[in-house]
């Protein structure tokens, strides 16, 4: 039985999806004005592990992640760089996809873009205005927070407390400092869309309410995001969606802890952040995922090279077995099949993950498994290939498909070291040929390797290769 901590009820609850056949899952995606930082990567990766575990359990998952492609930050960047806002967002959307692919994050079912859902957002704002939850002042539409009596139920904040310290900026016309913008009137030079309130653009919060409703329905199962989104973003999403639809918005709210650096929250505004892209230059996706998996998803986590190096070291133990399994399967030996309780490891893995996604315990189960497999085969001369097939199945289902810390296609066998060295040598010769503009030779190396089943993949970081397929 899967249990998870629900931020809304502040309790660990049994997970029961609304539709037993399909879990509907929404995660707040990036605002595409820059590369995302490793703190964001933590949220994306942990949401990915949750999603993959639901799939492991046999659920079909409709996974939606929005792309905020209209926003103050994008406009600011486009003015700084004297480019169209659209070009800025397109570049960073492409970069986002490159980075999540490298991090082995499974593609969402849908990536709705704000600019492609203007109609839905305007419709939702209209509903809120009609129901008196929102008011228009000279082309700016605000949500009337006091009208929504349950405001604060997610964050645990109450409106009186919030009122203290809140103030209205001189240039804002809203009635109450807690009210937030649903529609912003266009300023000179800004991108805009037509609406019943004049030219403008939507606020950020209404985006997620309108797009989740469109793709997942008025009430859905899981809404996830970083801790920093609980207030005001998710609180405001609830206020909008529940007022507009008069239905509960989300059943389970899942939030991921901050990634700290030197015990301080990592964030763009504090300037103490690393992009996921930079971290990927130093560490593999598997090591980064391992680092996150070894911490409880809700708690804070300190980012350090020591911890990432330790994660990498730990992975070596698993990868040594992966190498052995790959090579033994290739040999296809028949022999002794050792006694081994595979089921007990599946059970322990599931118990860990069912316990509010205790990924660090799940990793511990994998380590135990690796240690025990090594112990069992050590004294045997001839192990039957079927045993290694079972080992591979376990590691594929758990470490690879759920946690994403292992890649059976990537690691190489010790037996193949010479082959790898030769391929690497050919890649270097090809790169030199390219640098000397000898494209005939470089293409010929690529094509002839392909004939041998070695596929070269070029990227900005260099050339990698894949064998087979």
Instruction: Give residues in contact with Zn ion (CB under 5 A).
Output: 28, 208
Alpha helices in 103-196 (DSSP H): 118-130, 159-163
Shortest spacing between CB 250 and Zn ion, in angstroms: 11
DSSP 8-class letter at 233: I
Smallest separation, CB 271 to Zn ion (Å):
24
Give dist(CA 237, CA 229) in Å, integer.
Answer: 10
**Closer by beta carbon to Zn ion, 208 or else 315:** 208
* 64/280 with CB nearer Zn ion: 64
Nearer to Zn ion, 28 or 95 (CB): 28
- Cβ of residue 208: shortest distance to Zn ion, in angstroms? 3
Q: CB-wise, 237 or 328, nearer to Zn ion?
A: 237
**Nearest distance, CB of residue 74 and Zn ion, angstroms:** 16
User: Are residues 243 and 272 in contact, defined by beta-carbon separation less than 8 angstroms?
Assistant: no
- Least spacing, CB of residue 177 vs Zn ion, in Å: 22
- 412's tokens: 């190489």
Specify the residue, 234 or 446, whose C-beta has the smaller distance to Zn ion.
Answer: 234
Q: How far is the CB of 464 from Zn ion (least distance, A)?
A: 35
CA distance 372 to 366: 10
C-alpha–C-alpha distance, residues 237 and 459, integer Å: 39
Residue 28 or 124 having the CB closest to Zn ion: 28
| Count of CB atoms situated within 10 Å of the CB of 325 | 23
The 3-state DSSP composition of the chain as helix, strand, coil percent (nearest 5) reads 50, 15, 35
Inter-helix orientation angle 235-245/118-130, to 10°: 70
User: At its nearest, how many Å lie between Zn ion and the CB of residue 368?
Assistant: 38
| Beta strands 22-27 and 140-143, pairing class | unpaired
Candidates 269, 308, 303; CA nearest to 288 is 308
Select from 342, 456, 453 the least CA-distant residue to 388.
342
Rounded to whole angstroms, the Cα distance separating 129 from 142 reads: 9
Looking at beta carbons only, is 224 or 377 nearer to Zn ion?
A: 224
Q: Which is nearer to Zn ion, 28 or 122 (CB)?
A: 28
The minimum distance between CB 128 and Zn ion, in angstroms, equals: 17
Residue 184 phi, psi dihedral angles, 5° rounding: -110, 125
Cα torsion 25, 28, 33, 34 to 10°: value is -80
- In sequence order, the 6+-apart residues with CB closer than 8 A to the CB of 22 are 59, 60, 61, 62
CA dihedral for 200, 205, 209, 214, sign (positive or negative): positive
Q: Which is nearer to Zn ion, 28 or 64 (CB)?
A: 28
Distance CA 349, CA 361 (A): 8
For residue 111, give the 3-state DSSP assignment: coil
Least Å from the CB of residue 158 to Zn ion: 22
H helices of 57-107, where? 72-80, 85-102
To the nearest whole angstrom, how small is the minimum distance from the Cβ of residue 393 to Zn ion?
38
Query: Which residues in 284-390 belong to E strands, given as ranges?
Result: 301-302
Please identify which residue in the block is written with the tokens 């800025």.
Answer: 88
208 vs 454 by CB, closer to Zn ion: 208
């Amino acid at each position: 039985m899967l249990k998870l901590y629900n931020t809304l009820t502040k309790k660990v609850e049994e997970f029961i999806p609304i539709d037993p056949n399909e879990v509907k899952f929404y995660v707040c995606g990036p605002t595409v004005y820059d590369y995302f930082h490793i703190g964001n990567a933590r949220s994306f990766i942990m949401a990915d592990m949750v999603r993959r575990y639901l799939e492991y359990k046999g659920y079909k998952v409709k996974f939606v992640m929005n792309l905020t492609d209209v926003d103050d930050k994008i406009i600011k960047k486009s003015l700084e760089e004297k480019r169209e806002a659209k070009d800025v967002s397109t570049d960073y959307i492409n970069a986002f996809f490159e980075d999540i692919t490298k991090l082995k994050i499974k593609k969402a079912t849908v990536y709705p873009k704000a600019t492609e859902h203007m109609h839905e957002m305007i419709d939702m704002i209209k509903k809120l205005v009609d129901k008196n939850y929102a008011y228009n002042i000279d082309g700016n539409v605000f949500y009337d927070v006091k009208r929504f009596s349950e405001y604060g139920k997610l964050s645990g904040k109450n409106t009186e407390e919030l009122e203290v310290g809140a103030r209205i900026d001189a240039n804002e016309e809203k009635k109450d400092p807690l009210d937030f913008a649903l529609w912003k009137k266009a300023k000179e030079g800004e991108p805009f869309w037509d609406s019943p309130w004049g030219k403008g653009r939507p606020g950020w919060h209404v985006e997620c309410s309108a797009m989740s409703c469109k793709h997942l329905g008025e009430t859905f199962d899981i809404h996830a995001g970083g801790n920093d989104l609980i207030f005001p973003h998710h609180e405001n999403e609830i206020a909008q969606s529940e007022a507009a639809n008069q239905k509960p918005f989300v059943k389970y709210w899942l939030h991921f802890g901050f990634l700290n650096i030197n015990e301080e929250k990592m964030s763009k505004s504090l300037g103490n952040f690393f992009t996921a892209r930079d971290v990927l230059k130093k560490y593999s996706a598997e090591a980064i995922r391992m680092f996150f998996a070894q911490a409880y998803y809700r708690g804070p986590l300190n980012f350090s090279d020591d911890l990432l190096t330790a994660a990498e070291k730990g992975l070596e133990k698993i990868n040594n077995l992966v190498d052995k399994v790959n090579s033994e399967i290739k040999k296809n030996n028949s022999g002794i099949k050792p006694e081994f309780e595979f089921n007990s490891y599946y059970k322990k893995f599931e118990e860990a993950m069912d316990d509010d996604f205790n990924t660090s315990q799940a990793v511990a189960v994998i380590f135990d498994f690796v240690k025990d497999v090594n112990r069992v085969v050590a004294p045997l001369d001839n192990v039957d290939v079927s045993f290694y097939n079972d080992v591979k199945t376990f590691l594929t289902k758990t470490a690879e498909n759920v946690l994403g810390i292992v890649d059976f296609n990537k690691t190489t066998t010790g037996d193949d070291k010479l082959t790898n060295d030769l391929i690497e040598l050919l890649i270097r010769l090809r790169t030199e040929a390219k640098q000397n503009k000898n494209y005939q030779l470089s293409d010929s190396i690529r094509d002839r390797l392909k004939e041998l089943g070695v596929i070269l993949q070029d990227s900005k970081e260099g050339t990698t290769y894949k064998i087979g397929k």
